[in-house]
């Protein structure tokens, strides 16, 4: 374990930025945060988390897959893939770190998504423990410890210092690079920080929410639950929840006709959209209720069924604060079966 004074954090950023592109959460307007590429003057935000999740770094909202160039009646296929550069994302919260595991299981199992894999390989994740979680946080529900964030490097921020612990060879290599700016230390301060965090976690309003009852094999139990009507009744069908979600991984592949050819790209899609997975015969989820149900069944039942019980939600709380009508996974879980342990 190494540490440094928070006063020198910008020097640390500078050192990292010399070796790779560095992205840190920076203040955006209205008290929210956004990942920005570090440069002189970009400061680490005090906000709990970014509005957009860091999944963008591995699975961007839009990326070109390939291109076709047309000349008269001739078509030429162009591979647009280019070498991904090394990059570091700094200050990732425990929930978001966990989300990469969820995405990995989708994109890194056969057939491997080479676009995703390339970025994953080049990216170093530096996580940060959460000292001040929000009321919308419920990562504990999914077994995530905000006091013990994973990632290539874990960090803890105290009043004046920041502590680093490498978890992987990638992390160790990066720590090595900033060794000159940090000093070796023991874990006492971090332990007390962890304790503090654990205490705060016990005060959270959603601390008692559990996944009991959900998981693989529960399709029949929940699929025709009468509460779906009511829950989905006010859903506007926008894609906010899916687009701010760190684990939503659905995309659409589309062609853009440039006039001189075609760009084949993929972009995020949302199961909340009426056009989602539309096929030649039409759409297999006909109403908003079915689309709504799909999203939550996927997170709470289908995904764990295929992934050894891992839920496709990390309790980051983004959808809780961003849904225009404040409908969210917590309300769904409470209504259709997630039990509150007493």
Partner 1 sequence: MQTITKQQLLDKADSLLANGTVTAVLGWSKGEFGYDVTPKMFTTKEDLEQNFVWNDFCGVNFSKYLVSKTDRFEGKILVFLKPCDTYSFNQLLTEHRFDREKVYAVGIPCEGMVDVSKLKAATGDGISEIKEDGDNLLVTTIYEDEPATVPCRDVLLERCINCKSKKHVAYDELLGDEGEIIDSARFDEVAQIEAMTPDERFAFWQNELSRCIRCNACRDACPACTCEKCVFDNPNSGVENKAPANSFEEKMFHIIRAYHVAGRCTDCGECSRVCPQNIPLHLLNRKFIKDINEFYGEYQAGAEVGSRAPLVDYTTDDLEPGEVFDRRDMDA
Partner 2 sequence: MQVNEHKPLIVAFCCNWCSYAGADLAGNNRLNYPADVKIIRVPCSCRVNPMFILRAFQRGADGVIICGCHPGDCHYTSGNYYTRRRMAALFSMLDFLGIEKERTRVEWVSAAEGAKFAATMNDFVEQVTALGENKRLEDLRCKR
Partner 3 sequence: MQRVGVFVCWCGSNIAGTVDVQAVSEALKSEPGVVFSANYQYMCSQAGQDMIKEAVKEHNLTGIVVCSCSPRMHEATFRKTAAAAGINPYMVEIANIREQCSWVHKDIATGTEKAIILGKAAIAKVNLNTPLTPGESPVTKRALVIGGGIAGIQTALDIADAGFPVDIVETKPTIGGKMAQLDKTFPTLDCAACILTPKMVDVAQNEKIRIFSYSEVSEIKGFVGNFDVTIKKNARYVKEDICTGCGACVEKCPMKKVPNEFNLGMDNRSAIYIPFAQAVPKVATIDPNACNMLKNGKCGLCARVCTAGAIDYTQKDEYINEKYGAIVVATGFNPISMDKFDEFAYNQSKDVITSLEFERLTNAAGPTAGHLERPSDGKSPKTIVFVQCVGSRCDACAEKGKEYCSKICCMYTAKHAMLTRDKYPDTEVYVFYIDVRTPGKNFDEFYRRAVEEYGVKYVKGMVGKVTPEGDKLKVQASDLIANKQLHIDADLVVLAAAIEPDKSARPLATMLTASMDTNDFFTEAHPKLRPVESPTAGVFLSGACQGPKDIPETVSQAGAAASKVIGLLAKDKLTGNPCVAHSNELMCNGCSSCEKVCAYGAITYENKEFRMPDRTTKIRRVAVVNPAVCQGCGACTVACPSGAMDLNGFASNQIMAEVDAICK
List interacting residues with partner 2 (CB under 8 A): 69, 256, 258-261, 263
Give the per-residue contact string, 242-281, with partner 3 (x = CB under 8 A; - = no): ---------------x-xx---------------------
Measured from the CB atom, is 29 or 73 closer to partner 1?
A: 29
Measured from the CB atom, is 75 or 77 closer to partner 3?
A: 75
CB atoms within 10 A of CB 255: 13
238 binds, among partner 1, partner 2, partner 3, none (CB under 5 to 8 A by kind): partner 1
Measured from the CB atom, is 64 or 145 closer to partner 2?
A: 64
286 binds, among partner 1, partner 3, partner 2, none (CB under 5 to 8 A by kind): partner 3
Q: Check the CA dihedral 206-269-115-86 and report its sign.
A: negative
- The residues that bridge with 125 in the sheet, in sequence order, are 89
Q: Which residues between 60 and 79 bind partner 1 (CB under 8 A)?
A: 61-62
User: Does 187 contact partner 1 by CB under 8 A?
Assistant: no
Measured from the CB atom, is 187 or 230 closer to partner 1?
A: 230
> In 3D, which of 42, 36, 2 has the Cα closest to residue 21?
36
What is the CA angle 50-56-57, rounded to 5?
105
* Shortest reach from residue 226's CB to partner 3, in Å: 16
261 binds, among partner 2, partner 1, partner 3, none (CB under 5 to 8 A by kind): partner 2
SS3 content of the chain, % helix, strand, coil (to 5): 35, 25, 40
Distance CA 124, CA 16 (A): 11
Measured from the CB atom, is 76 or 135 closer to partner 2?
A: 76
What distances in angstroms separate CA 226 from CA 237, 274, 326, 335, one per listed residue?
Answer: 20, 22, 20, 10
Q: How far is CA 217 from the centre of its chain?
A: 25
Q: Check the CA dihedral 218-220-224-226 and report its sign.
A: negative
Measured from the CB atom, is 198 or 227 closer to partner 3?
A: 227
Measured from the CB atom, is 62 or 325 closer to partner 2?
A: 62
For tokens 């950023």, the residue is 13
With H, G, I as helix, E, B as strand and everything else as coil, classify residue 93: strand
Measured from the CB atom, is 111 or 282 closer to partner 3?
A: 282
* Shortest reach from residue 326's CB to partner 1, in Å: 4
Distance CA 165, CA 154 (A): 5
User: Does 255 contact partner 1 by CB under 8 A?
Assistant: no
- The answer to whether residues 14 and 37 touch, using CB atoms and an 8 Å cutoff, is no
* Shortest reach from residue 293's CB to partner 3, in Å: 13
User: What's the burial of 301, exposed, middle or buried (CB within 10 Å: 0-12/13-18/19+)?
Assistant: buried
What distances in angstroms separate CA 92 from CA 23, 45, 115, 275, 299, one per listed residue?
Answer: 10, 12, 21, 33, 21
73 binds, among partner 1, partner 2, partner 3, none (CB under 5 to 8 A by kind): partner 3
User: Does 327 contact partner 1 by CB under 8 A?
Assistant: yes
Element at 182 (helix H, strand E): none
Cis peptide before 77 (omega within 30 of 0): no
CB atoms within 10 A of CB 120: 20
Q: Which residues between 60 and 99 bind partner 3 (CB under 8 A)?
A: 71-73
Task: Tell me the window of 13-21, 36-44, 115-123, 270-278 that interacts with partner 1 (CB under 8 A).
Answer: 270-278
Q: Residues in the site for partner 3, rule: CB under 8 A?
A: 71-73, 257, 259-260, 282-283, 286-287
Q: Residues in the site for partner 1, rule: CB under 8 A?
A: 28-32, 34, 48, 51-52, 61-62, 132-136, 200, 203-206, 230, 233-234, 236-240, 242-244, 252, 254, 256, 265, 267-270, 273-275, 320-322, 324-328, 330-331
């Amino acid at each position: 374990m190494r540490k440094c004074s928070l006063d020198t954090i910008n020097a640390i950023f500078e050192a990292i930025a010399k070796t790779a592109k560095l992205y840190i959460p920076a203040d955006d307007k209205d008290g929210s945060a956004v990942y920005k590429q570090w440069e002189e003057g970009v400061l680490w935000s005090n906000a709990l988390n970014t509005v957009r999740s860091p999944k963008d770094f591995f699975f961007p909202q839009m990326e070109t897959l390939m291109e076709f160039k047309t000349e008269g009646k001739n078509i030429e296929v162009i591979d647009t893939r280019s070498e991904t550069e090394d990059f570091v994302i700094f200050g990732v919260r425990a929930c978001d770190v966990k989300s990469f595991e969820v995405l990995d299981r989708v994109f890194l199992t056969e057939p491997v998504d080479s676009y995703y894999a390339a970025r994953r390989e080049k990216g170093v994740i530096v996580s940060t423990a959460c000292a001040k979680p929000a009321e919308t946080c419920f990562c504990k529900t999914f077994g995530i410890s905000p006091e013990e964030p994973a990632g290539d490097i874990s960090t803890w921020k105290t009043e004046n210092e920041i502590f680093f612990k490498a978890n992987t060879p990638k992390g160790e290599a990066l720590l090595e690079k900033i060794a000159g700016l940090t000093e070796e230390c023991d874990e006492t301060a971090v332990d007390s920080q962890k304790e503090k965090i654990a205490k705060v976690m016990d005060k959270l309003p959603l601390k008692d929410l559990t996944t009991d009852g959900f998981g693989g094999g529960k399709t029949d139990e929940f699929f025709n639950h009468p509460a779906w009507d009511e829950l989905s009744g006010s859903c506007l069908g926008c894609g906010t929840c899916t687009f701010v979600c760190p684990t939503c991984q659905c995309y659409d592949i589309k062609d853009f006709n440039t006039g001189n050819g075609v760009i084949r790209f993929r972009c995020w899609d949302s199961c909340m959209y009426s056009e989602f997975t539309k096929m030649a015969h039409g759409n297999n989820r006909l109403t908003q209720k079915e689309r709504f149900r799909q999203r939550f069944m996927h997170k709470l039942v289908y995904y764990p069924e295929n992934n050894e019980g891992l839920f496709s939600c990390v309790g980051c709380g983004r959808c809780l604060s961003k849904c225009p009508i404040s409908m969210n996974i917590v309300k769904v879980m409470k209504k259709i079966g997630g039990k509150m342990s007493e």
